[in-house]
Structure 1
Protein backbone atom coordinates (compact mmCIF):
# COMPACT_ATOMS: atom_id res chain seq x y z
CA UNK A 1 0.00 0.00 0.00
CA UNK A 2 1.73 3.15 -1.20
CA UNK A 3 -0.18 6.33 -0.40
CA UNK A 4 0.97 9.93 -0.23
CA UNK A 5 -0.62 10.95 3.06
CA UNK A 6 -0.27 14.64 2.22
CA UNK A 7 -2.50 14.16 -0.84
CA UNK A 8 -5.47 12.69 1.02
CA UNK A 9 -8.50 15.02 1.04
CA UNK A 10 -9.60 14.83 4.71
CA UNK A 11 -7.19 16.04 7.38
CA UNK A 12 -7.59 16.64 11.11
CA UNK A 13 -4.87 17.60 13.60
CA UNK A 14 -4.96 16.94 17.34
CA UNK A 15 -2.29 18.33 19.71
CA UNK A 16 -2.26 17.23 23.32
CA UNK A 17 0.03 17.59 26.33
CA UNK A 18 2.13 14.44 26.78
CA UNK A 19 0.23 13.22 29.83
CA UNK A 20 -1.69 10.02 30.50
CA UNK A 21 -4.98 11.67 29.51
CA UNK A 22 -3.64 12.10 25.97
CA UNK A 23 -4.06 8.38 25.26
CA UNK A 24 -7.81 8.35 25.95
CA UNK A 25 -8.36 11.63 24.10
CA UNK A 26 -6.40 10.46 21.05
CA UNK A 27 -8.30 7.18 20.94
CA UNK A 28 -11.67 8.95 21.23
CA UNK A 29 -10.68 11.52 18.60
CA UNK A 30 -9.62 8.71 16.26
CA UNK A 31 -13.04 7.12 16.61
CA UNK A 32 -14.73 10.51 16.03
CA UNK A 33 -12.61 11.15 12.92
CA UNK A 34 -13.49 7.73 11.51
CA UNK A 35 -17.19 8.43 12.08
CA UNK A 36 -16.84 11.87 10.45
CA UNK A 37 -15.26 10.17 7.44
CA UNK A 38 -18.21 7.81 7.14
CA UNK A 39 -16.27 4.71 8.18
CA UNK A 40 -18.36 1.96 9.75
CA UNK A 41 -16.88 1.32 13.20
CA UNK A 42 -17.30 -2.43 12.54
CA UNK A 43 -14.77 -2.27 9.69
CA UNK A 44 -11.87 -4.68 10.38
CA UNK A 45 -9.28 -1.86 10.34
CA UNK A 46 -11.02 0.26 13.00
CA UNK A 47 -10.14 -1.78 16.11
CA UNK A 48 -6.48 -2.07 15.13
CA UNK A 49 -6.35 1.65 14.23
CA UNK A 50 -7.63 2.56 17.70
CA UNK A 51 -5.14 0.24 19.35
CA UNK A 52 -2.23 1.50 17.24
CA UNK A 53 -3.01 5.16 17.99
CA UNK A 54 -3.27 4.36 21.70
CA UNK A 55 0.05 2.50 21.68
CA UNK A 56 1.93 5.22 19.78
CA UNK A 57 0.57 7.99 22.02
CA UNK A 58 1.35 5.87 25.10
CA UNK A 59 4.94 5.53 23.87
CA UNK A 60 5.19 9.31 23.45
CA UNK A 61 3.82 9.86 26.96
CA UNK A 62 6.13 7.24 28.53
CA UNK A 63 9.33 7.89 26.61
CA UNK A 64 9.23 11.36 25.04
CA UNK A 65 7.45 13.61 27.54
CA UNK A 66 10.70 14.76 29.12
CA UNK A 67 11.70 16.48 25.85
CA UNK A 68 8.31 16.76 24.15
CA UNK A 69 5.64 18.72 26.02
CA UNK A 70 3.07 17.84 23.34
CA UNK A 71 2.17 14.92 21.14
CA UNK A 72 0.39 15.58 17.84
CA UNK A 73 -1.79 13.16 15.92
CA UNK A 74 -2.52 14.03 12.31
CA UNK A 75 -5.30 12.14 10.56
CA UNK A 76 -5.95 11.81 6.84
CA UNK A 77 -8.63 9.89 4.98
CA UNK A 78 -9.36 9.22 1.36
CA UNK A 79 -10.97 6.56 -0.80
CA UNK A 80 -9.96 3.19 0.61
CA UNK A 81 -7.38 4.48 3.09
CA UNK A 82 -7.11 5.86 6.61
CA UNK A 83 -3.78 7.34 7.65
CA UNK A 84 -2.46 8.92 10.80
CA UNK A 85 0.84 10.10 12.18
CA UNK A 86 1.89 10.47 15.79
CA UNK A 87 4.57 13.11 16.33
CA UNK A 88 6.72 13.95 19.33
CA UNK A 89 9.80 16.14 19.77
CA UNK A 90 12.13 13.57 21.32
CA UNK A 91 15.19 12.82 19.15
CA UNK A 92 15.19 9.04 19.77
CA UNK A 93 14.16 7.16 16.64
CA UNK A 94 13.13 3.56 17.22
CA UNK A 95 13.71 0.96 14.54
CA UNK A 96 10.13 0.08 13.64
CA UNK A 97 10.81 -3.17 11.88
CA UNK A 98 13.69 -4.01 14.20
CA UNK A 99 11.12 -4.09 17.01
CA UNK A 100 9.70 -7.29 15.54
CA UNK A 101 12.98 -9.10 16.21
CA UNK A 102 14.23 -7.17 19.24
CA UNK A 103 11.01 -7.06 21.26
CA UNK A 104 8.43 -9.47 19.84
CA UNK A 105 5.11 -8.93 21.58
CA UNK A 106 6.20 -5.46 22.70
CA UNK A 107 4.13 -2.38 21.94
CA UNK A 108 5.99 -1.15 18.88
CA UNK A 109 6.34 -4.68 17.50
CA UNK A 110 2.58 -5.13 17.90
CA UNK A 111 1.96 -1.86 16.03
CA UNK A 112 4.11 -2.99 13.10
CA UNK A 113 2.68 -6.51 13.09
CA UNK A 114 -0.96 -5.36 13.10
CA UNK A 115 -0.25 -2.79 10.39
CA UNK A 116 1.41 -5.39 8.17
CA UNK A 117 -1.35 -7.97 8.76
CA UNK A 118 -3.91 -5.44 7.50
CA UNK A 119 -1.83 -4.66 4.41
CA UNK A 120 -0.91 -1.21 5.67
CA UNK A 121 2.39 0.61 6.11
CA UNK A 122 4.34 1.95 9.06
CA UNK A 123 7.07 4.53 8.47
CA UNK A 124 9.20 6.58 10.83
CA UNK A 125 9.94 10.07 9.52
CA UNK A 126 12.56 12.13 11.39
CA UNK A 127 12.04 15.87 11.68
CA UNK A 128 14.38 17.90 9.48
CA UNK A 129 16.12 19.33 12.56
CA UNK A 130 16.69 15.86 14.05
CA UNK A 131 14.83 16.72 17.25
CA UNK A 132 11.66 14.75 16.74
CA UNK A 133 9.88 12.24 14.59
CA UNK A 134 6.53 11.08 13.28
CA UNK A 135 5.41 7.50 13.00
CA UNK A 136 3.03 7.33 10.05
CA UNK A 137 0.54 4.53 9.65
CA UNK A 138 -1.67 3.85 6.63
CA UNK A 139 -4.43 1.27 6.78
CA UNK A 140 -6.78 0.09 4.04
CA UNK A 141 -10.51 0.68 4.40
Structure 2
Protein backbone atom coordinates (compact mmCIF):
# COMPACT_ATOMS: atom_id res chain seq x y z
CA UNK A 1 0.00 0.00 0.00
CA UNK A 2 1.29 3.45 -0.93
CA UNK A 3 0.16 6.55 0.98
CA UNK A 4 0.94 10.16 0.03
CA UNK A 5 0.00 13.09 2.26
CA UNK A 6 0.85 16.72 2.90
CA UNK A 7 1.12 17.51 6.59
CA UNK A 8 2.81 20.13 8.76
CA UNK A 9 4.89 21.50 5.87
CA UNK A 10 6.10 18.02 4.83
CA UNK A 11 5.45 15.57 2.05
CA UNK A 12 4.74 12.24 3.74
CA UNK A 13 5.29 9.11 1.61
CA UNK A 14 4.65 5.70 3.20
CA UNK A 15 4.89 2.21 1.72
CA UNK A 16 3.51 -0.77 3.63
CA UNK A 17 3.97 -4.44 2.82
CA UNK A 18 3.46 -7.83 4.50
CA UNK A 19 6.94 -9.22 3.78
CA UNK A 20 8.56 -10.38 7.04
CA UNK A 21 12.07 -9.09 6.23
CA UNK A 22 12.93 -5.69 7.70
CA UNK A 23 15.68 -4.04 5.62
CA UNK A 24 18.96 -2.94 7.18
CA UNK A 25 19.87 0.64 6.30
CA UNK A 26 23.49 -0.07 7.21
CA UNK A 27 24.02 -2.05 4.01
CA UNK A 28 24.45 -0.80 0.46
CA UNK A 29 21.49 -0.93 -1.85
CA UNK A 30 18.50 0.95 -3.13
CA UNK A 31 16.99 1.78 0.26
CA UNK A 32 20.36 3.02 1.55
CA UNK A 33 20.54 5.33 -1.48
CA UNK A 34 17.02 6.63 -0.76
CA UNK A 35 17.95 7.21 2.91
CA UNK A 36 21.03 9.20 1.87
CA UNK A 37 19.02 11.34 -0.58
CA UNK A 38 16.32 11.98 2.01
CA UNK A 39 18.98 13.08 4.49
CA UNK A 40 20.53 15.40 1.87
CA UNK A 41 17.17 17.21 1.67
CA UNK A 42 16.79 17.44 5.49
CA UNK A 43 14.14 14.74 5.52
CA UNK A 44 13.68 11.60 7.56
CA UNK A 45 13.26 7.92 6.72
CA UNK A 46 11.81 5.45 9.22
CA UNK A 47 11.11 1.74 9.12
CA UNK A 48 8.39 0.50 11.48
CA UNK A 49 7.83 -3.27 11.76
CA UNK A 50 4.26 -4.51 12.20
CA UNK A 51 3.57 -5.80 15.69
CA UNK A 52 2.49 -8.54 15.80
CA UNK A 53 3.04 -10.23 12.52
CA UNK A 54 5.00 -9.88 9.34
CA UNK A 55 5.27 -6.64 7.44
CA UNK A 56 6.55 -3.11 7.86
CA UNK A 57 5.98 0.50 6.87
CA UNK A 58 8.77 2.51 5.29
CA UNK A 59 8.05 6.22 5.65
CA UNK A 60 9.79 9.24 4.15
CA UNK A 61 9.15 12.80 5.32
CA UNK A 62 10.47 15.59 3.11
CA UNK A 63 10.17 19.25 4.00
CA UNK A 64 8.23 21.39 1.56
CA UNK A 65 10.13 24.47 0.48
CA UNK A 66 7.95 27.56 -0.02
CA UNK A 67 8.18 28.93 -3.54
CA UNK A 68 8.02 32.73 -3.70
CA UNK A 69 5.26 34.17 -5.81
CA UNK A 70 6.66 36.60 -8.41
Normalization by structure 1: what TM-score?
A: 0.43
- Aligned mates of 1:116, 1:79 — CA distance in 2: 18
Give a deviation string over 1:69-107, Cα, whole Å, max 9, x none: xxx0111202421001101100100122x1xxx21xx21
Counterpart in 2 of 1:115?
A: 38
- Aligned mates of 2:21, 2:32 — CA distance in 1: 16
- Aligned mates of 1:78, 1:135 — CA distance in 2: 17
The alignment of Structure 1 onto Structure 2 pairs a total of residues equal to: 64
Task: Tell me: higher relative CO, structure 1 or 2? Use CA pairs within 8 A at least 6 residues apart.
Answer: 2
**Richer in strand (by share):** 2
Aligned alpha-carbon RMSD (Å): 1.1
Counterpart in 2 of 1:140?
A: 63
Give a deviation string over 1:34-59, Cα, whole Å, max 9, x none: xxxxxxxxxxxxxxxxxxxxxxxxxx
User: Mind listing any 5+ residue stretches in structure 1 that lack a counterpart?
Assistant: 1-71
Give a deviation string over 1:93-134, Cα, whole Å, max 9, x none: 0122x1xxx21xx21111100000000000001111231001
**Richer in helix (by share):** 1
Secondary structure at the aligned position of 1:90 is classed as coil
Normalization by structure 2: what TM-score?
A: 0.83
